[in-house]
Amino acid sequence: MSTHIDWDRVTAEHVQSALEDYDRLGPDAFFAAHGYAPTTTYELVQSGRAYPPKAILGTAYELATGTRLSPTDFEGGKSGAVKILATLGFTVEPKHR
C-alpha cells in the first residue's frame, strides 16, 4: 500500500529541528525514538558532522505534519530523501566506507 507523501509541507526549519534532535539524543536514542536505522549509502553533512538523511527527513516530516512515516514508506536514495534534502538546501554526499 503506497501512500502519497506531501514533502512540500517539510521546510528547512523542520530539517534543522530534526538535526538538533539527533544532536541532543545521540544516534541510538534518536533511532529508537523515531524508528529509523543508521544510514548505509548517503550522509547529510552539516557543520562538519554527518547525519542519516532518511532518518532526518522522516523525522522532519513528522515534525511538519504530526504523522510518523515508517522507513519503508519512502525511498532514502538519490530519488528520495537525498533529492528532497538537496532541494531544501542541505548537502548530502555518498557515505565514505
Alpha helices in 26-93 (DSSP H): 27-34, 53-65, 81-87
Reported residue count of the chain is: 97
Measured CA to CA, the distance from residue 6 to residue 37 in angstroms comes to: 22
From first to last of its 97 residues, the chain has per-residue pLDDT tens of: 346 799 999 999 999 999 999 999 999 999 999 999 998 899 999 999 999 999 999 999 999 999 999 999 999 888 899 999 999 999 999 987 6
Q: Is 92 exposed, middle or buried (0-12, 13-18, 19+ CB in 10 A)?
A: buried
Q: How many CA atoms lie within 13 A of 32 on its CB side?
A: 5
Handedness of CA 85, 74, 72, 58 (dihedral sign): positive
Measured CA to CA, the distance from residue 17 to residue 34 in angstroms comes to: 13
pTM for the whole structure: 0.93
